[in-house]
Structure 1
Amino acid sequence: MTSTENPRTGVRARTRGAILRAAAAVLAHDRAAPLSEVAERARVGRSTLHRYFPDRDVLLAATYEEALSEIGRVMDEARAQEGPAAQALRRVVAAHVEVGDWVVFAFGDTANEVFDDAPDAADPEPEILTDLVRRGQEEGVFDPEADPAWVVQVLWALIFTGLEQVGRGRMPRHAVTPAVVRVLERGVGA
């Protein structure tokens, strides 16, 4: 890296990011895919991939960490705590669909649990989402008798199912958000 190159935007950072995005896309759908497939998707040679990530476990751990970072970023951008609950819910769904490969990679395989530093620590995202559901119940737009934690689990299941359908070529990505929102709103609407 040259002295004028920003470590977040330089060639190394872009290459690392391309490898991680490729790993999420490839390994989300086939955890056992060869690393050569990841390198090809990232448009780098295998030797370049191995310079950044010496083995599969290092790549998996870095991809998981980046997935959580990307999911956190879009959750922040979705502003789940702002505005009417129904609109906030739509933004949350769209945010997760936007980073679909990261979501499927991070949560599609329980093997990723080995990368959690504190598996018993409370994850703030479900609390944000249960608070969103409670707010919607108070606003009268979500079923007041539905358990908020259950609604969040249904939300995850719908998002994940939509993303799996995209991965299998059965649904275009742009159709996932409206499908999830339609099913969820009709299922929990007051």
Structure 2
Amino acid sequence: MLRAAVAVLNRDRNAPLSTVADAADVGRSTLHRYFADREELLAATFDEALSELGRVMEEARIDEGRAVEALRRVVAAHVEVGEWVVFAFGDPANEAYAPDDAEPEPALLVDLIRRGQAEGDLTADLDAVWVVNVLWALVFTGMEQVEAGRLSRHAVASTVIRTLEGGVLARP
């Protein structure tokens, strides 16, 4: 049901719960047995988004190898759960569902960027928190482009990595 919720709510945050139930192929009463109201559904969907992000971040093995290689794995991981990224970060109202101890930019990503800067693979004159936010913005934009039919899903990771690593200026 949460996968159906994220798909529906990414298209229309105000979609009626009956639309979520239809997408989940369950009746509205079944949906209400699990989620008493819209707020409960939104909170559960946000929790699941954070869970999915945590799962793929573990799978990205960010402590292995050079930071730039780990960063590429992080991008691929975020794209893998792109619909959850769009849901979690696409609406500022979701901040209400974040745990009290949630970090705005997870320390492990900030540390990864700093490691890449220390290794000399990432520019050292940009703040690591800025780079993390740019990473998320690129993934988010890539997933929006997929939804709009302007980019194929399998092209998102390479496009994000290329943009992140090379910027947009043509080099002579």
- Given that 2:10 and 2:83 are in contact with CA atoms closer than 8 Å, whether structure 1 keeps it comes out as yes
2:23 aligns to what? 41
**What does 1:21-170 correspond to in 2, within 5 Å?**
21-118=3-100, 121=101, 123=103, 126-170=106-150
User: What is the deviation of 1:108?
Assistant: 0.6
Pair member with larger Rg: 1
Contact 2:49 2:85 in 1 (8 A): yes
Indicate conservation of the 8 Å contact 1:81/1:128, yes or no: no
- RMSD of aligned residue pairs (Cα, Å): 1.7
Preserved contact between residue 29 and residue 105 of structure 1 (Cα < 8 Å):
no
Q: Is the 2:105–2:132 Cα contact (8 Å) retained in structure 1?
A: no
Q: Percent identity?
A: 67
If the length of structure 1 is used for normalisation, what is the TM-score?
Answer: 0.83
Residue 81 (structure 1) shift: 1.9
What residue identity is the alignment partner of 1:177? A
Q: How far apart in 1 are the matches of 2:2 and 2:133?
A: 27
Unaligned runs of 5+ in 2: none
The worse-fitting range, judged by mean Cα deviation, of 59-68 and 45-54 is 45-54
Deviation at 1:169, TM superposition (A): 2.0
After superposing on structure 2, the runs of 4+ consecutive aligned residues of structure 1 that deviate more than 4 Å are none
**Matched positions, count:** 168
CA offset at residue 29 of structure 1? 2.5
